[in-house]
Amino acid sequence: MRRKDKEITDIKSIEEIISRAEVFRLALSLDDSPYVVPLCFGYRANTIYFHSAREGKKIDILKNNNKVCFEFDIDYELIESEDSCKWGMRYRSVVGFGKVVVIENLKEKQEALAIIMENYTDKTFLFPERMVQATLVAKIDIEQMSGKISGY
């Protein structure tokens, strides 16, 4: 990171940003074509979980290249100024890299879906086998990530 004064390296601070985020952005690439998609997620033990339909552009890309980049951001606020060069943005963010692995085992898929739901509610759910089998559930094995704080 160019601005070391803005870098967050402490894992607890990084995980606090992730825990407060409502969406994450998954960046994929195939040949020379980048693709970014916002997704609901769950996070536990250095792993991001998400679900998807079994077909679509994202899945087509992942079948050919499972290397991804991801981003979370929170606390964003526009900083206005009378001077056009002093406008800016306050935020906290996390960017990282990893590899997507599709989860095939029914029990592991149900556990991953529960982790995703825990990110949004305190309620617990049962996930019917028929619905779980119809859903693609994946995890990102995180290889590296760092945070950034700006304007605070």
Cβ atoms within 10 Å, residue 62: 22
pLDDT in tens, the chain (152 residues): 677 778 899 999 999 999 999 999 999 999 989 999 999 999 999 999 999 999 999 999 999 999 999 999 999 889 888 898 888 889 999 999 999 999 999 999 999 999 999 999 999 999 999 999 999 999 999 999 999 999 77
Domains and CATH numbers, the chain: 4-150 (2.30.110.10)
Whether the CB-CB separation of 24 and 73 falls below 8 Å is answered with: no
Q: Which residue has the tokens 């995890």?
A: 139
Encoded tokens for 114: 């529960």
Amino acid present at 148? K
Closest CA to 65 of 105, 103, 95, 35: 35
- Cβ-based burial of 18 (10 A; exposed 0-12, middle 13-18, buried ≥19): buried
pTM score: 0.92
Question: Which DSSP helix (H) or strand (E) runs through 51?
Answer: strand 47-52
Label residue 33 left, alpha or beta by phi (over 0 means left) and psi (-120 to 50 means alpha): beta
Token pair 């087509």 is found at 60
